[in-house]
């Protein structure tokens, strides 16, 4: 599936630092002239199967050297959110962060698949770029975006433009390859399932972002009076944004909100009131890809300053109930940095109960990245209720996760309740079928329908299957 890459090839780049050989990854993304003091990804051949053992990569509740992450299941079934922080992503000065919010019957599997495979595709693209550019001698320039020598800068443009262009292409091609892999995946049905993605690469003082869907990233920074302010880094790509709505309508898709939830615009097929996707861009959701829903990411670059304190990435379960300013206040006032993500999720859970008492709380996933690279001591971390075993689990894999559905998690899934005409006036007990490894299970004890109160679910799937039926085992 193209998930295996090697970055151990030798380079002809001869730059040295303190007499040590420089990392071979002179990609024009900040590796030349950097001292390599510890093992990085460049020393390995990594496959998806090896990811849980990659150093400095966390994807379960816990912390790293510079960040903390936390997710909590809502009340709609299995947790469909996923998250990852990968330090030393390509060198010691590069960090990858991502939050992924799945939706549909297999949304949790889609989110986890994207979490694992998308960073690998970024690395694969950059490695191929390195292989093509090593011979030119002009692909080595530093992550602080200092210009090349005057002749090269005049001829080829500034290093900043080149680096920005490289990362833009990397995000665009990686997202395209990710969606292509999902479409052809032999064991993962993404016809009515999908995932958002908000992804970020921090390289020195440079921040490169690619995102689709309505997961969001914000920056906590200090203003001229030394007060904390919130700066939104991404745009929630909802179907009612003018440019998104125009594209969808041009492709014969429809955009409207249901009477039950007038504040949630959704995407619908031209010939049926389904599936009701509450975002304009997503991985998967191939039932809508011909009708205006795309997986092309928005890309942005920002140069960080000393006033910038931290970055928060979170799924819409947080943003539905907390403002950007509230999130910055909560994170900046957390008693310890390692507890910030958990406290933010706890705060969102309380707000769900207060603001939407008739609705089921959504899943929440949070990544807090502190830009000065400092975290709490281990003793502070333990005091916040995280054990050393939690830390260890981040590098030992997750026994209950897999991409083929073979897992021991609760099997009730959300966001695909069938709402037929008979259901329209009924909000009581709603039985529905859930497929788990080919077996149907009726869950009659679920007393929530897809449109009860303010649901804010990402899709209301009620489509017949147009793909081939699975063979009976």
Residue 106 — pLDDT band, cuts 50, 70, 90? very high
What's the pLDDT tens digit per position in 239-257?
A: 999 999 999 999 999 999 9
pLDDT, one tens digit per residue, over 297-309 is 999 999 999 999 9
CA distance 278 to 283: 13
pLDDT mean over 176-188: 96
Phi, psi for residue 179 in degrees, rounded to 5: -65, -35
Identify the H or E element spanning 329.
helix 324-332
pLDDT in tens, 137-178: 444 434 443 333 344 444 455 888 888 999 999 999 999 999
Which secondary-structure segment (H or E) carries 302? strand 298-303
pLDDT above 60: residue 420:
no
What pLDDT score does 456 carry? 62
The confidence score (pLDDT) of residue 23 equals 36
Write down all domains in the chain, each with its CATH number in brackets.
5-382 (3.60.40.10)
Average pLDDT over residues 77-96: 93
Q: What pLDDT is recorded for position 444? A: 32
pTM: 0.76
The highest-confidence range among 73-82, 323-332, 351-360, 396-405, by mean pLDDT, is 323-332
Question: What confidence category does residue 93 fall into, taking pLDDT thresholds of 50, 70 and 90?
Answer: confident
Bridge partners for 62 per DSSP: 69
- Dist. CA 340–CA 44, nearest whole Å: 32
3-state helix, strand, coil in the chain (%, to 5): 25, 25, 50
């Amino acid at each position: 599936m193209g998930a295996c890459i090697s970055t151990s090839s030798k380079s002809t780049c001869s730059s040295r630092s303190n007499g040590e050989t420089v990392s071979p990854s002179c990609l024009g993304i900040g590796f030349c002239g950097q001292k390599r003091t510890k093992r990085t990804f460049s020393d390995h051949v990594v496959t998806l199967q090896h990811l849980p053992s990659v150093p400095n990569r966390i994807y379960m509740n816990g912390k790293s050297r510079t960040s903390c992450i936390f997710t909590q299941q809502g009340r709609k079934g299995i947790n469909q959110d996923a998250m990852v922080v990968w330090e030393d992503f390509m060198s010691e000065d590069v960090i990858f962060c991502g939050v992924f919010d799945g939706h549909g019957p297999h949304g949790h599997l889609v989110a986890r698949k994207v979490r694992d495979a998308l960073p690998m595709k970024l690395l694969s693209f950059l490695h191929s770029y390195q292989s093509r550019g090593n011979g030119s001698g002009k692909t080595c320039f530093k992550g602080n975006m200092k210009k090349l020598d005057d002749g090269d800068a005049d001829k080829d443009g500034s290093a900043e433009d080149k680096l920005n262009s490289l990362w833009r292409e990397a995000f665009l091609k990686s997202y395209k390859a990710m969606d292509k892999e999902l479409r052809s995946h032999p064991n993962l049905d993404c016809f009515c399932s999908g995932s958002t993605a908000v992804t970020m690469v921090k390289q020195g003082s440079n921040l490169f972002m690619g995102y689709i869907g309505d997961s969001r990233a914000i920056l906590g920074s200090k203003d001229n009076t030394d007060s904390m302010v919130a700066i939104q880094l991404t745009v929630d790509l909802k179907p009612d944004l003018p440019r998104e709505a125009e594209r969808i309508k041009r492709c014969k898709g429809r955009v409207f909100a249901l009477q039950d939830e007038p504040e949630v615009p959704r995407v619908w097929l031209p010939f049926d009131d389904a599936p009701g996707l509450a975002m304009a861009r997503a991985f998967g959701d191939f039932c809508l890809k011909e009708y205006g829903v795309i997986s092309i990411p928005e890309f942005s670059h920002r140069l960080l300053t000393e006033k910038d304190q931290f970055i928060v990435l979170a799924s819409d379960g947080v943003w539905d109930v907390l403002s950007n300013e509230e999130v910055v206040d909560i994170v900046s006032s957390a008693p310890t940095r390692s507890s910030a993500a958990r406290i933010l999720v706890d705060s969102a859970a309380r707000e769900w109960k207060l603001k939407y008492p008739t609705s089921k709380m959504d899943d929440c996933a949070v990544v807090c990245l502190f830009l000065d690279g400092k975290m709490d001591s281990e003793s502070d971390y333990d005091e916040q209720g995280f054990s050393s075993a939690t830390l260890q689990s981040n590098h030992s894999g997750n026994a209950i996760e897999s991409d083929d559905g073979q897992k021991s998690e609760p099997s009730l899934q959300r966001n695909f309740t069938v709402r037929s005409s008979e259901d329209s006036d009924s909000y009581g007990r709603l039985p529905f079928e859930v497929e788990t490894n080919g077996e149907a299970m009726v869950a009659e004890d679920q007393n929530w329908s897809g449109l009860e109160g303010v649901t804010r679910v990402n899709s209301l799937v009620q489509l017949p299957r147009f793909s081939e039926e699975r063979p009976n085992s």
